């Protein structure tokens, strides 16, 4: 079976990011603000504001802001049974 899709650059980047998430599943990782923003399809300032407002968690005791990958993964793939 062959399926053909036409994707614009933004859709292609998002698809690639989603594939990367699936490949990293189960690994204890974090995302930078920039990485999280790309995955979520928002700007870095939006992610930074949400971290500052404590809407998004951050890994404590690090100089740079790192967001747990599990949190971002849950935002992108919410559990339909919850």
**Tokens describing residue 27:** 């690994």
Model-wide pTM > 0.85: no
Number of alpha carbons in the 13 Å side-chain half-sphere of residue 34: 1
pLDDT digits (tens, 9 = 90+) for 24-51: 665 658 899 999 999 899 999 999 999 9
3 state DSSP class of 26: coil
Q: Percentage of the chain surpassing pLDDT 70?
A: 87
């Amino acid at each position: 079976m062959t399926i053909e899709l036409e994707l614009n650059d933004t859709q292609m980047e998002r698809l690639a990011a989603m594939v990367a998430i699936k490949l990293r599943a189960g690994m204890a990782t974090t995302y930078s603000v920039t990485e999280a923003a790309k995955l979520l399809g928002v700007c870095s300032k939006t992610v930074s504001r949400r971290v500052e407002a404590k809407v998004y968690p951050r890994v404590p005791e690090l100089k740079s802001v790192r967001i747990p990958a599990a949190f971002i993964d849950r935002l992108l793939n919410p559990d339909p049974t919850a």
